[in-house]
A and B are shown apart, each in its own frame.
Chain A
């Protein structure tokens, strides 16, 4: 792994100053105005939400800034909605043509991916210098076709390679002003994460069987010894066993899932570097599981009203575990040339739930 940044360097942690109470009020106003305007305000709501998170993320005494124009987002959303509506109607009239359309949409995926990433990056700024994404749709298509074929030919086992190539495409084509980023992670690192996640699942399956054995032994023991209570007790025991097994099953997959996401975030962010600076992310899997768990319970118990509180907690943890390693002051990054892009790519990608960005 190439370490481009020569020591000595400073460690500057990212800071997050958003708070749940304040964001709740912004969120509820966003929601109300979005409903009252039948969705038109959603473009402004998106900008306010993004601005809130960006402006509360600080590095070396300066916040980030989100610059997207709500009118452009609204236009993108209307276009995306029209495409979505036509797709729904066609797919319900003829599922086969619907399926063909989905396949045809794959052809546009590289274009959508590039447009969406570019829009997001160009509207992100720090110290009035914008980020940029310089990848082209052809470049993206080449990456997706090549790594997509690897996934197909390996029957899915090549997925870590695909994940690696996708991040490499994004990071290696990202610039802050004129300063390019480089991505120093390897495909091997991604395979390592997937193998460990798989290992977690295997351990979980072992626990699963252990619990199952104990549970069924218990049922057997109770039903043979307790004479006339036989039926009632074994029914109770069966329910208990079924509940336990489901709980273990859910826990195993959740843990493996959170592990994969956390390790991947650490890997990706810690390998973003160049000769001027380097990032470091040190999220802990245990803390992430706790965050997801508490957030999930609180959101459901509050019927969704605590969503803003949960979003702030998650953002704070992720951002405050990010550090910038750099050589002294951050004053002399130079702005790059760029023109503005449309929001269509991002909005279409969002409505069809495509995975974009890092």
Chain B
């Protein structure tokens, strides 16, 4: 027999009444102290889980409700009918000071795991499932937008263009899932010497980049790097990961009001920049593997990277946690296996 005191609300009016509740095994809840005694089979009664030091509610099948602070009695009843174990464990985690530090550590650790490994893994799986048609449309749209804003038609001779396109053929042929890689040439004052990869399999190379190259192998290295972006579906993954990161940040900072939620924007930027640098490293690795398979020295890749840096020396190059590319010296170190000399 378990007894506890509670307030009774019949659910029809807002009247508050003191009541005496008795639980007698195997499973009847008797409520006394009202005009007439009430009896409920325990199976139809719902108990709220313990939450801090807030009052405990007992929801009765006819819409009435009991409120009590006698958590011991409620837990004893739940124990008798062998439920509420999870609720007790959770309350233990939520109420003991000695769990605070382990909980914080585990949260930080699992957040790191989620952002560093979980989301990239999921994004890769989803990106693989995106149909070719959609990738095609996304790429076409992106190219049309770039053509409208940043790019002009190329000034290169058709013969030059064709000779560079030939460099792409072996890259395309070596790829396990046959992609329709296509090379487009454009002139662009603002982008300077640059190359872009679009999800549709289009690589855009600027005239300035072609002029910057001293050997065909330099361009092969750049093409292999961009092909790496395409094969590994980096633009789709970036899109998915940044959308997911917004959701993660929103759920982390869900308690904030608009004025302070600005502080969620910086972590989002940092994480996205981190993803972008990881993609660049992956594309570099892809290019290195390709160059090795073709017997081309990786020094060509390092060479063109250094020349690119020199060509962009007027741009303020951000070398920090917000940068979209890893530091060039780190990239070259990874490529040549040694620290570069200053150009």
- A-B complex is real: yes
Task: Report A's interface with B, CB cutoff 8 A.
Answer: 18, 22-29, 31-32, 34-36, 38-39, 42, 48-49, 51-52, 55-56, 62-63, 65, 81, 84-85, 88-89, 92-95, 126-129, 177, 254, 257-258, 292, 295-296, 299-300, 304-305, 307-308, 310-311, 314, 330-335, 351
B335 to chain A, nearest CB (A): 32
Q: List 5 A-B contacts (CB under 8 A).
A: A28-B107, A62-B16, A62-B67, A128-B65, A335-B11
Q: Which residue of B lies closest to A28 (CB)?
A: B103
Is B180 an interface residue when CB atoms closer than 8 A count as contact? no
- Consensus secondary structure, chain A interface: helix
Alpha-carbon gap, A292 to B107, bound state (A): 26
Interface residues of B in 46-100 (CB under 8 A from A): 48, 51-55, 57, 63-65, 67, 90, 93-96, 99-100
Is B179 an interface residue when CB atoms closer than 8 A count as contact? no
Select which of B13, B111, B134 is within 8 A of A129 by beta carbon: B13
Interface residues of B in 92-147 (CB under 8 A from A): 93-96, 99-100, 103-104, 106-107, 110-111, 114, 118, 130, 134, 137-138, 141, 145
Is B259 an interface residue when CB atoms closer than 8 A count as contact? yes
CB contacts (< 8 Å) of B10 on chain A: these are: 128
Q: Which residue of B lies closest to A292 (CB)?
A: B259
Q: Which residue of B lies closest to A129 (CB)?
A: B14
A122 to chain B, nearest CB (A): 13
In contact, B100 and A331 (Cβ under 8 angstroms) = no
In contact, A310 and B104 (Cβ under 8 angstroms) = no
Q: Which of B210-218, B248-256, B277-285, B321-329 sits within the interface? A: B248-256
Select which of A27, A81, A305, A331 is within 8 A of B13 by beta carbon: A331
Interface size range on B against A: 35 or more
Given A25-B94, A305-B104, A333-B14, are A51 and B51 also a contact pair (CB < 8 Å)? yes
CB contacts (< 8 Å) of A257 on chain B: these are: 259
Residue interface mask B160-200, A partner, CB < 8 A = 1:
00000000000000000000000000000000000000000
Alpha-carbon gap, A24 to B14, bound state (A): 32
Alpha-carbon gap, A307 to B257, bound state (A): 11
A57 to chain B, nearest CB (A): 10
Is B15 an interface residue when CB atoms closer than 8 A count as contact? yes
A295 to chain B, nearest CB (A): 6
Is B150 an interface residue when CB atoms closer than 8 A count as contact? no
Q: Which of B15, B103, B107, B141 has the most CB of A within 10 A?
A: B107
Alpha-carbon gap, A38 to B247, bound state (A): 11
CB contacts (< 8 Å) of B14 on chain A: these are: 126-129, 177, 330-334
Given A95-B141, A333-B13, are A55 and B51 also a contact pair (CB < 8 Å)? yes
Select which of A22, A35, A296, A307 is within 8 A of B255 by beta carbon: A307
Q: Which of B7, B54, B239 has the most CB of A within 10 A?
A: B54
In contact, B255 and A127 (Cβ under 8 angstroms) = no
In contact, B137 and A32 (Cβ under 8 angstroms) = no
In contact, B141 and A39 (Cβ under 8 angstroms) = no
Is B243 an interface residue when CB atoms closer than 8 A count as contact? yes
In contact, B51 and A331 (Cβ under 8 angstroms) = no
Alpha-carbon gap, A253 to B104, bound state (A): 36
Select which of A26, A51, A300 is within 8 A of B94 by beta carbon: A26
